[in-house]
Amino acid sequence: MKYMLGFLLFAGGFQIKAMDLKKNRLPIITLSTLGTILSTFIIGFLTFFIFRYFTHPIPLIYCLLFGSVISPTDPIAVLSILKEQKIPYSLELKIEGESLFNDGVAVVLFTTIFQLSVNPQKEFHSSEVLWFFIRQGFGGILYGWIIGYVGYIAIKSIDDYKIEILITLALVMAGYYFAGLIQVSGPLSMVVAGLITGGKTKNIGMSLKTKDYLTKFWEMIFEIFNTILFLLIGLEMLVIKINSYILGIGLIMIIATLIARWISVAVPVFLLKPWSQFEKNSIKILTWSGLRGGLSVALALSLPASAYRDEFVAITYIVVVFSIVVQGLTIGQLARVSLR
């Protein structure tokens, strides 16, 4: 959360073509905001009732916190599979763009709900919660835009690929650190800064040689950090305790997360149909391609013990393993059949 997430999100934003993303901005923004909020609350309430049914009630605020943990999607594995099926480029952009931004939105939701959960005795007014959400979300986007353009000006003023790579590294490390100090969303700021660096800066502010070196460098960073992240996830599996009771709830939560994902995709698609064009069976593909990955595990591991960490970490692992293994292995066949 503190050291790897900024690099991963900056690298993800850097690799997306910002101009192409702009053409699909309405569905991407709606899916990543409204969709993530819907998913968080649907999963939160379903979790609350499931644990209550199994006579192990958990306060609703912690269930909503778990909803924000499991809602972000990870497109890394699924996009390479979908590219082989030659899905429409606009649908590929929607999947990648939504996942990139819903990571940031989910972290903002997680931070907001976590603040409410750690101060149960304190009265929070709706305006106070809304301001915290706006400051984290829109503040993070504005801050990311500012540091992205600072990086653009710095890179444009020189022509030395080694220094320009160091500038982007400083942008991520210093930018993410200061985002925490001024209390705006570091993840969202890194996404926006990555988009500006990978779009305007790469196309206008650097030579072809620098562009080639910088692209390969951030691709390598992306692959290395993802490998380390999943290695840490594997090591954590050695110490996590999953009994039959948690396993049963985890299996039910797989169905619950899929239902929540379908609703959180179907509602925005239905609302946007008059203004945006969606591909055939896009709801089905977007639902099944919504794999849970490293961010969900990182958020779950960051929970304190008082927030039912053991239960939620175990369930998160069950959902993530199912989504990567089952959904990841079948999404190619689903896309091939759906797009005929």
What would the pLDDT profile of 165-211 be if each residue is shown by its tens digit?
A: 999 999 999 999 999 888 888 888 998 898 888 777 777 777 888 88
214 pLDDT more than 90: no
Distant-in-sequence, close-in-space partners of 50: CB < 8 Å, separation ≥ 6: 249, 252, 253, 256
What sign for the dihedral angle of Cα 296, 136, 99, 70? positive
Q: How far apart are the C-alpha atoms of 272 and 340, rounded to whole Å?
A: 24
What is the reported pLDDT for 122? 59
What is the reported pLDDT for 24? 80
Q: What is the pLDDT of residues 257-266, one digit of tens each?
A: 999 999 999 9
Q: Quick one: tokens of 282?
A: 């896009």
Determine the length of the chain. 340
Three-state SS sequence of 184-196? CCHHHHHHHHHHH
Average pLDDT over residues 146-155: 89
Average pLDDT of the chain? 85
Given pLDDT bands bounded at 50, 70 and 90, which one contains residue 80?
low
What is the CATH code of the structural domain delimited by 5-338?
1.20.1530.20
Average pLDDT over residues 327-340: 81
- Report the percent of the chain where pLDDT is more than 70: 94
Distant-in-sequence, close-in-space partners of 10: CB < 8 Å, separation ≥ 6: 168, 171, 172, 190, 191, 193, 194, 197, 218
20/39: higher pLDDT: 39
What is the reported pLDDT for 266? 93
Q: Are 16 and 100 in contact (CB under 8 A)?
A: yes
What is the reported pLDDT for 62? 93
**Domain segments of the chain as ranges:** 5-338
